[in-house]
Amino acid sequence: MDKENFKRLNLKDALKLFFSFSIGVWIQAIINFFSIPIITFLISPEEFGKSTMYSTVYSFLLVIILAGFDQSFIRSFYEVKENERSVLFWTSLFPPITIVLIISLLLFRFNESLALFLIGDRSHPMAALVSLSLITGLLQTYKLAVIRMQKKGFLYSLVFVIQSVVNVGVTILYALAFGRNFYAIVWGQIFGNVTSFLVGTIFEHTNLLPVKIDFDLLKKLAIYALPLLPSALLWWLFQWVSRIFLRTYSTFTELGYFGVAFKLSYVMYLINSGFQNFWFPVAYETYEKDRENKKLFIDAAKVISFVMILFALMVIGLKDVLFYIMAKDYRPASRVLPFLLFPPVFSSILAVTARGINFLKKTYWFIVSDGICLLINSVLNFLLVRPLGARGSAVSMGISFIVLFTIETFISMQLYPVKYPLKKIYLAIGSLLITGLVATFVEDNLIAGLTSLLAIFALCIVYFDLVKSGFKEVRKILKT
């Protein structure tokens, strides 16, 4: 590790790096925002529900295929010399490629059962589609990881934008030309993955040669990666168990409401993604080369908690306006949205406050935290899905993420002590929770909007020092 050439990240450089990673995310968010209403007019809630089940199985199998080796690649990136990174790349990719081939063979063997589970019809060729999605998803995951770790933010943004444009374009064209069904969404995803991988490879291929697998290195990568697999599976179950309960105890229509509300909440996930893509390389490099620089983590926690909760409150306040421009059949989904904003909010904050677990390589703690929260989420879903449908499922997920934040932050602080502004964060969480409950269960849109406005005002008071310093920075920028 070249500590002599390491330079602490100042505000100007941090903003520049964050902007380079985020610009594509913002453009993708805009594309999603304008495309969702169009797609809701083309595809019914029931078909949207089928695509949600497809995404559920795809994401589950992708977790198994990656087996934690993508995270091992990221964790080891700055531990090896630049001329050895191609070996790291191919060595970490070797196990996932092997696993995806095995899983594809099994999918073809049980195609009828897979199709029946996903869409209630045995005759569809789901094995071929899922296998193709998994292969393209695997390649795209690794390509984006390489670009991200090299801090090539503008290239990362370009790849994201192209993926989004192709995804939406193919979805709409398929729906208009071939059929207004869930296949449109599936093919949009596949073509988006392929295109983004090809573009990323054209512009970034420095880590591809020589093609070499180091089995000694593979053992070291496996030691870090494999304990992550149970945690990753628990994390998947924790996030996706809601769909499973909806599929079991509710209807495809309720799944459709959940799916389209999740699509809108995906805008928040994109903000979360933009932050994490900027933050993870900075956090790991800072810990490796300047680990006493804890002020960076304190400031990051304060800023990201304020920004994400502020955005969530704004989206909740405007939710009925957003759903008004969609097909009328999807209007009930507006009351599903509020608690689906909780996962991206808390994932963003945890990207800062839970880093101690990764820094000290005590990743088994993720198994503990995810296991506890999976249990809570499952119990709440069992109790709430039957009477409340998609709303009950969303509430279960939101509350579980509050518990997850509490557990992982506490553990991380024991391993890597940092004085995070927890009092501010929990006061902000309280305002978000109250607003979410009102927006979910009170039918009067005016009351929900006013509650959101009051919560934003309270948030600004709690973070007054941050708001004040933010205005000062804006004035400085305007004067220069």
DSSP helix/strand/coil, 238: helix
∠307-313-320 over CA atoms, to 5°? 140
| Whole-number Å distance between alpha carbons of 470 and 92 | 42
**Radius of gyration over alpha carbons of the chain, in Å?**
22
Residues contacting 419, CB < 8 A, separation 6+: 294, 298
DSSP helix/strand/coil, 420: coil
* pLDDT confidence of residue 273: 76
Peptide bond into 210 cis (omega under 30): yes
DSSP helix/strand/coil, 253: helix
How many residues are present in the chain? 480
* pLDDT confidence of residue 397: 94
Give the helix, strand, coil percentages of the chain, each rounded to 5.
85, 0, 15
* pLDDT < 50: residue spans in the chain: 1-7
* pLDDT confidence of residue 5: 47
3-state secondary structure 150-207: CCCHHHHHHHHHHHHHHHHHHHHHHHHHCCCCHHHHHHHHHHHHHHHHHHHHHHCCCC
> Furthest-apart CA pair in the chain: how many Å?
67
| Whole-number Å distance between alpha carbons of 200 and 180 | 31
User: In terms of Cα–Cα distance, which of 312, 468, 337, 342 is closest to 405?
Assistant: 342
DSSP helix/strand/coil, 310: helix
| Whole-number Å distance between alpha carbons of 293 and 10 | 12
| Whole-number Å distance between alpha carbons of 458 and 426 | 12
DSSP helix/strand/coil, 250: coil
* pLDDT confidence of residue 18: 64
C-alpha distance across the termini of the chain, in Å = 37
* pLDDT confidence of residue 171: 93
The answer to whether residues 448 and 436 touch, using CB atoms and an 8 Å cutoff, is no
User: In terms of Cα–Cα distance, which of 440, 471, 458 is closest to 334?
Assistant: 440
* Token code pair at residue 13: 């450089």
* pLDDT confidence of residue 8: 52
Q: What are the start-end ranges of the H helices in 43-110? A: 45-66, 69-76, 85-109
- Characterize 179-200 residue by residue with b for buried, 16 or more Cβ atoms within 10 angstroms of its Cβ, and e for exposed: eebbbbbbbbbbbbbbbbbebb
Which helix (H) or strand (E) segment is 313 a member of?
A: helix 295-317
The answer to whether residues 418 and 298 touch, using CB atoms and an 8 Å cutoff, is yes
